[in-house]
Structure 1
């Protein structure tokens, strides 16, 4: 019995190995129909128009020294040298649910590649069966089964057994590249998903950095309000004292009270924005907003110099551009899949197995049976369905080309936007510092003249209100400058590179 099973196992192995060898031979001789993919060209400027330049004493312009690109590789947020932000970003990378969802989408896309590659191999199925049958009591015919005949007399009931173990092998050689293009399309789709994952990570990381600096900006504004309220309170006390001596009028006291109450109300309102930024950070790092908090801390982070490089590098740096490019390749492969429908389909079927009326002889060599034969099919008329389908996918490809070029143009626009913001905000902040210095000087003079009785409190009121507004403006500008630097890093791809995109071989792995 053991020897019979070994012989049967070897027979099955021979069938499968023979089919596989035939598959390899015909696959090697096949061709791939459809257009070859060539990445469309896009026009790229030689340099960024808004890149910072400096003017030398002789009037010539020059670009500042560019920091090493390594500053934007890996965890790009470390360029700000904020340990608290570093810890939050690390938590985001492991706990953000949008990133987790994008990762699972990528894993599902990889599984589809494996499923598509399964069409390269033959399909082997087995359907063992056992049947026990009996004749009627009035039957006089002989009951015949494989391997022998049992004759029954009229009026006597007979039974027979049938042990059947069929093995079917079917395979469709990829003569025209339909399967290869299907695999390529699935692999490209997985690469798109991988680029989407990288883009989602960058987007969430940038959102966290922006929210963090916005929150610190609110802390800075609250601290400024607290200092201003303290100054307003002291001025009110001075005004009340001068009012009791008859030097000041009740109107001056009322003005001082108005200044104080306005500042207090403004400080209270700042708490709304701070709470919302804190809640947004909690959401990004995957924590309930109710149990998350950050201690107050003023904005002290210096804005780093961001290496912009040259525009042509954006085509390799941005994951959204990589996704758009892989989408074009995916659409091109679909054209090949549908073009293969114009050619005949060849399939090869092999059936074999063992059948016996007794279990003891089930795997005996005489009990074997088999059949082998190829078949071909060709659509003779479909009312233009295949032509229309190919035209549909060609139009889809052309649309993806336009989307790719639009993604490149958008990348150039965003980078120029934030380069301009960095350059202009740097100048505006310096100008605003001069404004604050002048406003402080004006307020100091007004306070002295008021205390010496030369002017009324109205001048102090106007000067103090202007100083407070100018101080708020410079804090707002600093927040705008540092958040736009985050947006510039995001526009430049956050140090990502197209070489990090998994290859078609990588996405075919189940790991």
Structure 2
């Protein structure tokens, strides 16, 4: 009994060891504050729940559409399936820590010329176990668990990206509708000008060139209306696909749209950047690469295989389970590699290089995250400044058109002057709408860059 304990106890001591480096998250370049807003930055922490960030825009139609992404989008379903696949891989890796137990049963009959008929029956159980002496299996479980967590972060990232894509596409469609309203109003104004010019031409107070120029101006805007309809159709089709519907089965009605830009607090909580899924995924992939080093190093050591079997055999089925037919066996086998001409050392070096690459990828992902936040903060700030100036330009253009049209009616200005100021007004109006769209897109991009919530 003491001899058995002296043989088994060292196995448990060895099983508590695991070769290879234990994981420790490397440092990343983290500034104390954002340049564009003075926010304090914290370290990645992706486990915090995310809210319904799209509700800050106060648009019930947008809220309804974004809710459908999680339910019906096929790209998201694919990411969710990959997460379930990664979770199953953890269970498969963990199962290798335990023995395999199997069963067998058989019956044979032997007959032939010059020999008697012989029947034989057998049944038994077999067990085999490879103790994880060097931690290879545990490192594999560690790697698969980290891969599962990375896959969960990928799923969260895919969901956030699709939600942001839908919001951006939706705002682009609404801005297109606003541009369509401007063009429709412009068509009405230009039609009035065309009618006025024709009347003045018939009265002999306007030249034929004024009529032709007015007609050209009207037709040009009518062409732009048709072009903007094509753009709207493409955006509507894109939204249909994002919510998992065929474009033929989805229609988004044109409604009056009032943009609502969310306010940016002066100082945001430090948890915002911690919520980025891509940073969490990159960090977990470092843990995967670190565990791969231990898996490669474990190949230097031999594997111990323990096996046992118990069964019974008999010439008659009725005596199959009699005590005299019982047989059993136990055994152990130690196997390892003596010479591999550098294969194992190459695998270890490859694993170390893979870890170094993952560290660089992680740090690059962190820096890219900071860049995206800074870019979007700057974009929102300067577009806001531009919108204030553009509003003044629109008001000036409208006033210029009113004055010039009155002068034309009074015969003190040419139609060319009218055409020029009207074209300028249309350009300023459309620029104003485009600025609104860029502001909305930048706000969505900022929310995405900080992980999906203010």
User: After TM superposition, is the score higher than 0.5?
Assistant: yes
CA contact (8 A) 1:184 1:330 kept: yes
- Per the alignment, residue 45 of structure 2 pairs with none
In the alignment, does 2:17 pair up with 1:31? yes
CA contact (8 A) 1:349 1:374 kept: yes
CA distance in 2, matches of 1:184, 1:466: 65
CA contact (8 A) 1:303 1:482 kept: yes
The correspondence of residues 97-496 of structure 1 with structure 2, limited to 5 A, is 97-134=74-111, 136-137=113-114, 157-306=115-264, 313=271, 316-495=274-453
Shift, 1:43, TM fit: 1.6
Shift, 1:314, TM fit: 5.8
CA distance in 2, matches of 1:44, 1:311: 15
Aligned residue among 47, 56, 81 for 1:79: 56
CA distance in 2, matches of 1:177, 1:309: 47
Q: CA deviation digits over 1:114-146, x for unaligned, max 9?
A: 111111110111121111113532xxxxxxxxx
Shift, 1:298, TM fit: 3.8
CA RMSD across the alignment: 2.1
CA distance in 2, matches of 1:233, 1:339: 81
- Per the alignment, residue 18 of structure 1 pairs with none
Q: CA deviation digits over 1:183-236, x for unaligned, max 9?
A: 111111111111111111111111100010000011001110000110111111
CA distance in 1, matches of 2:317, 2:453: 68
How many positions carry a matched residue from both structures?
A: 439
CA distance in 2, matches of 1:103, 1:307: 34
Q: CA deviation digits over 1:392-450, x for unaligned, max 9?
A: 00000000101001101111111111111100000000100000111111111111111
**Aligned partner of residue 390 in structure 1, secondary structure:** helix
- Per the alignment, residue 68 of structure 1 pairs with none
Q: 1:93 to 1:29 in 2, by over 3 A?
A: closer
CA distance in 1, matches of 2:11, 2:181: 77
Q: 1:343 to 1:239 in 2, by over 3 A?
A: same
Shift, 1:172, TM fit: 0.8
Q: 1:204 to 1:309 in 2, by over 3 A?
A: farther
CA contact (8 A) 1:226 1:267 kept: yes
Q: 1:480 to 1:24 in 2, by over 3 A?
A: farther
CA distance in 1, matches of 2:102, 2:13: 22
CA contact (8 A) 1:213 1:299 kept: no
Shift, 1:374, TM fit: 1.8
CA contact (8 A) 2:38 2:267 kept: no
Give the structure-2-normalised TM-score.
Answer: 0.93
Give 1 or 2 for the bigger CA radius of gyration: 1
**Aligned partner of residue 127 in structure 1, secondary structure:** strand
In structure 1, list runs of 5 or more residues that go unmatched: 1-21, 54-62, 64-71, 138-156, 497-511
CA contact (8 A) 1:134 1:159 kept: yes
CA distance in 2, matches of 1:225, 1:52: 41
CA distance in 1, matches of 2:213, 2:10: 93
